Amino acid sequence: MQPALTPWPLRVLLGRAAREWETRHRIFDLPAGKMHHADPTADTTITIGGRTVATPIGPAAGPHTQLAQNIVAGWLAGARVFELKTVQVRDDLEIPRPCIDVEGVGYNVEWSQELRIAQSLEEYVKAAMALQILGGWEALRPVIGSPGPHLFDMSVGYDLAGISTPEMAGFISGLLDASAVIDSLRPEIPEPFAGFREAAFPSRIVGGVTLSTFHGCPPEEIEGIARHLMTEYDLDVVVKLNPTLLGVDAVAGILHRLGYESVVLDPDAFAADLQYERALAMIRGLRAFAVDHGRSVGIKLTNTLVVRNTRDRLPGDAMYLSGKPLHVIAITLLDRLVGDLGGLLGVGPEPGPIPVSFSAGIDRDNVTAAVALGMVPVTMCTALLKPGGYGNLSGMLNVLARDMHEGGCPSVGDLVRLRDEAARQAGHRDAVAAYAAGLGGEAGARRYSLAAATPKLRQVDRTLETWDCVSCNLCVTVCPNDAMLHLATPEGVGMTEKWQYFCLVEWCNDCGNCTTFCPEWGDPSRVKPRLFLDRVAFVADGGPGYLLVGVDGELTMEVREPAAPDDPDRLAAFLGGDDGIPMRAGDLVG
């Protein structure tokens, strides 16, 4: 079976970035206006495991950290910490489609990577090289300034047997010393970046590792994997915990208070998962083990919440909840853990030795609050699947810088101190307790209620067609893989709208997110012209589409089953020119 996604070679990827920037000041559809330029008066740097990163936020493991262009888009928008998509030994799983439904609350039925293990390794190395190249590219300097350091965090799952296989051992070792992959990619670096072919790319691609634990994973297994990663690879480990840890009654209570009566919990899943008291023992035990081995262990709150599939949108009996309600659940869990683990957890102005990383319903309205608790890093998935996509990251960083200014806080450390002092003066144990209490109050209920989580989407009663549509651009921003491309409509092709939309099929895994947000009736990834760059993928797909090829320095195409007889002529009008498909013919040869 062909994997659902086909990564582009580094040559093609960077060639497109250069062309897109030179002709329209975008890279992977992220416009210059959405790129992050550090505010010199707000120091957003934080330290993770002794490594400094320039901003405290980034994408959590998921669709935004799987393909190289996703990581580049996130970085351009200001992400500096990347929890890479979880890689596990079973790399031929067929993920049911559609797999994402984030119309309101987030739901998904994805799990691990959708690439072969070796492809995931190469994708992460490619991304690391692309960031270094673009960070050093003079043309971008006026817009992104000096981007500062970033960090990749490997994510692996789901059992010790799988993680110990030669395939997974090769993957982990490959991220710790990627010199062979880097050297194989060097000759592929195209103009105008050829000067980077001899650059010193760091051979280590990741800082530490986050262990993604699947629902039902026994505590002994989690402990075994964490110890294995510390001793075999000298890695600092973060254990990503499931929200079931809070217990079925507490989670049901929160959902009920916030009005999520439609969310149906599965008590058996709670019973099968790690139990709270056992988790406390596990965290303390792993901490002692880490100290003995000169390593650190952290926790991440939280992974998604398993619930019954009652919505009829995604396939299967179970689905995984993320977004707004998860924020309240995860903060409530954090508050309880801080209470029970005393000064061990790495929150507040005098953080304990167990760092706390976060991913649960982060958005513009709560990003400052989460960063101000001292959690490192603060990551997100659902917010980046909503309109605005990767651009939402730069919006969040603007909000963070604004809040730091307003609080008179030149650094993140100052912000953490300010919020902690305010919380204690108001009679709370600390800022975590104060924030949890706020979420438990009326304002919290309003802000995180079902009504607040389900905005009414715009709907236009019109069937989506190949050409011309509302041109809202939502399919472009909500696609985590940048698989929807928009191009200015050329003159004289008989179309009325300013923009036309195309699907880059190798990057589309039929996740369904563009269909959710498209205001017209139809699936943009299927209705809009489907473009291929890879002949193998074109042949394997077998359906209607256009294979782009470079012939004698010109971009041209092969056509299969056009929806209408004049579609190939119309598409041909988009091939050349400064507003055309941002690919360079020379990169597509070979």
Ligand X SMILES: Cc1cc2nc3c(=O)[nH]c(=O)nc-3n(C[C@H](O)[C@H](O)[C@H](O)COP(=O)(O)O)c2cc1C
Q: Distance between alpha carbon 83 and the CA centroid of its chain, in Å?
A: 8
**Nearer CB in complex with ligand SF4: 448/502:** 502
**Nearer CB in complex with ligand SF4: 325/582:** 582
Q: How far apart are CA 339 and CA 299, in angstroms?
A: 15
Q: How far apart are CA 32 and CA 38, in angstroms?
A: 14
**Nearer CB in complex with ligand SF4: 249/465:** 465
Residue 470 contacts ligand SF4 per CB under 6 A: yes
**Is there a contact between 66 and 89 (Cβ–Cβ < 8 Å)?**
no
Q: x/- string (CB under 6 A) for ligand X, residues 20-59? A: ----------------------------------------
Residue 501 contacts ligand SF4 per CB under 6 A: yes
Question: How many Cβ atoms are within 10 Å of 395's Cβ, its own excluded?
Answer: 18
Place of tokens 């998509």: 85
Minimum CB separation of residue 526 from ligand SF4 in Å reads: 8
- Which residues lie below 8 Å from residue 296, measured CB to CB, with a gap of 6+? 49, 208, 236, 237, 290, 353, 354, 355
**Is there a contact between 359 and 300 (Cβ–Cβ < 8 Å)?**
yes
Q: Which of 398, 449, 471, 556 binds ligand SF4 (CB under 6 A)?
A: 471
Q: How far apart are CA 107 and CA 121, in angstroms?
A: 27
Tokens of 47: 């330290």
Rounded to a whole number of angstroms, the distance between the first and last alpha carbons of the chain is 24
Output DSSP code: residue 34. Answer: G
Find which of ligand X, ligand SF4, none residue 488 binds, CB within 5 to 8 Å per kind.
Answer: none
Bond from prior residue into 377 cis (ω within 30 degrees of 0): yes
Residue 215 contacts ligand X per CB under 6 A: no
Minimum CB separation of residue 528 from ligand X in Å reads: 22
Q: Which of 9, 15, 62, 208 binds ligand X (CB under 6 A)?
A: 62
Partners of residue 379 on adjacent β-strands: 58
**Nearer CB in complex with ligand SF4: 48/531:** 531
Residue 384 contacts ligand SF4 per CB under 6 A: no
Tokens of 350: 């005098």
Q: x/- string (CB under 6 A) for ligand SF4, residues 472-491? A: xxxx--xx-x-xx-------
Q: Distance between alpha carbon 391 and the CA centroid of its chain, in Å?
A: 12
Q: Distance between alpha carbon 142 and the CA centroid of its chain, in Å?
A: 26
- Give, as ranges, the residues between 375 and 404 that touch ligand X (CB under 6 A): 380-383
Partners of residue 247 on adjacent β-strands: none
Burial class (CB in 10 A: 0-12, 13-18, 19+), 67: buried
Q: Which of 101, 122, 273, 510 binds ligand SF4 (CB under 6 A)?
A: 510
**Nearer CB in complex with ligand SF4: 257/526:** 526
- Which residues lie below 8 Å from residue 313, measured CB to CB, with a gap of 6+? 98, 101, 107, 512
Find which of ligand X, ligand SF4, none residue 381 binds, CB within 5 to 8 Å per kind.
Answer: ligand X
Q: Which of 9, 58, 63, 348 binds ligand X (CB under 6 A)?
A: 63
Bond from prior residue into 192 cis (ω within 30 degrees of 0): yes
Q: How far apart are CA 297 and CA 399, in angstroms?
A: 31
Find which of ligand SF4, ligand X, none residue 323 binds, CB within 5 to 8 Å per kind.
Answer: ligand X
3-state secondary structure of 290: helix
Residue 86 contacts ligand X per CB under 6 A: yes
Span of 105-113, 171-179, 288-296, 557-565 interacting with ligand X by CB under 6 A: 105-113
Angle, helices 276-292/219-233, rounded to nearest 10 degrees: 20
**Nearer CB in complex with ligand X: 64/417:** 64
- Give, as ranges, the residues between 111 and 170 that touch ligand SF4 (CB under 6 A): none
Residue 514 contacts ligand SF4 per CB under 6 A: yes
Residue 520 contacts ligand SF4 per CB under 6 A: yes
- Give, as ranges, the residues between 216 and 255 that touch ligand SF4 (CB under 6 A): none
Residue 154 contacts ligand X per CB under 6 A: no
Question: Closest Cα partner for 127 from 64, 54, 46, 171?
Answer: 64
Q: How far apart are CA 342 and CA 73, in angstroms?
A: 39
Q: Which of 29, 509, 541, 581 binds ligand SF4 (CB under 6 A)?
A: 509
Number of residues that bind ligand X (CB under 6 A): 28
**Is there a contact between 303 and 244 (Cβ–Cβ < 8 Å)?**
no
Residue 381 contacts ligand SF4 per CB under 6 A: no
Minimum CB separation of residue 90 from ligand X in Å reads: 13
Residue 360 contacts ligand X per CB under 6 A: yes
Span of 86-94, 138-146, 315-323, 504-512 interacting with ligand SF4 by CB under 6 A: 504-512
The residues of the shown chain that bind ligand X, judged by CB under 6 A, are 60-63, 85-86, 100, 106, 108, 110-112, 155, 212, 240, 303-304, 322-323, 326, 359-362, 380-383
Residues that bind ligand SF4 (CB under 6 A): 464, 469-475, 478-479, 481, 483-484, 501, 503, 508-514, 518-520, 524-525
